Chain A
Amino acid sequence: MAEGFLTREAGVREAYAAHAGELYGFALRSLEDPGMAEEAVQDTFLRAWRAADRFDPELGSLRTWLFAILRNVIIDLGRARAARPAIGGELPDQGHEPFEDILLNWQVEEALRRIGDQHRRVLVETYLRGRPYAEVASELGVPEGTIKSRVYYGLRALRNALEEMGYEG
């Protein structure tokens, strides 16, 4: 990806195809409103295009840069929503969870979506839902030892997925 990539409309299209799904998913999770999530994604690509000169692939990935822009857009939208007087109580109560927390939660969820079904399933059932290995093993019709090894390979897969998404833990 060359510098100035986003100044071309085809470049924006390409960036959109690669990242809009994730950006939208996160915006929706954060804003909890499809209309605002749309607006946030649109704003993100417009700002990215306008500031294309300032994107330097040597400093970080396009994905990281777009998320940084989206972060600003969402904070602005949240601030605007908070500053707006509550009219007739139709505005949702927002902004308890700090932004960085939501972003990290979402990244972990997105990483879990990306790993294989078998791996995700054992991590969800044994850890997030706290079910005994024996129960999950019999439900899946595999030995307990298989559950244990899937937990291990599942965590490795999760680590790789997080790294691909730019998480530097």
Chain B
Amino acid sequence: MKADDCRVWRERIGALVLGQLDDDQRASTEAHLDGCPDCRAEAEALAPVAALLSRADPERLTPAPAPPPYLGDRIARRIAAERRDKRRRRVRLGLGLGGACAAAAAAALVAVVISGSPSAAPSETVAFRALPGDASARATLEPRPWGSTVNVRVRGFRPGTLCEVWLRRRDGTLVAAGSFRYVYDGESDEAELSSALTPADATAIGLRAGPKTFVAPLPAGSAARDAALSPATNKEEDT
């Protein structure tokens, strides 16, 4: 049978696989499929699509929100910064950057969320309980051959607040990881800092914002160990 002859039947196949035909039409369409391999193949190709269709929520079909316009630039800046770091290290150490280095760079991420709870706050953080509830600080440590890149994002602080970041070493001494001023311009509120300590060597991260200091412990040793296991997907989070 030629495809043209099947046109009427074909156009019923959609309704058939969606269960929308009445009994008579279904019976006649199925009888046609029994004798027409092409139409049967078409029905078999569309049946899985029909089965998937019920997964859609009709209320969610409006155009999906676009990512914020600044996100592409922010990612490009992060990559450029990381590339500069790598290049610097390459020149200084006279090393090529092989897979091992890429793996280390992608390895561990420790995110620390400090919010207004006594349970999440060791004794060093007393002052921060006085913060308004919407203030938050989040730090990301990424191991580098020379230490860590420390990304710090704070929200809800007074604009212009001087923020100093340090890492605590196992022996209790503090190692500076840089400072920045909190400026929220609706775009990038993330500061990219560096420290010579690797995440595995640091037991805590501290953030001094104006007169107040916030501290968050880092999971001991986990960063380096996990990094060695599966570099691309590892992420540790603790409060």
Task: Name A's B-contacting residues (CB within 8 A).
Answer: 9, 12-13, 16-17, 20-25, 28-29, 34, 37-38, 41-42, 45-47, 49-51, 53-54, 69, 72, 76-77, 79-80, 83-85, 87-88, 90, 104-105, 108-110, 112-113, 120, 123-124, 126-129, 133, 145, 148-149, 151-156, 158-159, 162, 169
Contacts and interface: CB of A to CB of B under 8 A. Distances in A.
Given A127-B53, A152-B15, A20 B67 contact: yes
A87 B116 contact: yes
Interface in B114-148: 115-117, 119-120, 133
A72 B109 CA distance: 13
Nearest to B80: A9
B99 to A, nearest CB: 7
B184 to A, nearest CB: 13
A53 B72 contact: no
Nearest to A46: B78
Contact of A9 (B17, B55, B79, B106): B79
B50 interface: yes
B217 to A, nearest CB: 13
Given A126-B18, A127-B20, 14 more contacts: A9-B79, A24-B67, A29-B64, A49-B79, A50-B102, A76-B235, A80-B237, A87-B115, A112-B56, A128-B54, A149-B14, A152-B12, A152-B15, A155-B50
B61 A120 contact: yes
A152 B57 contact: no
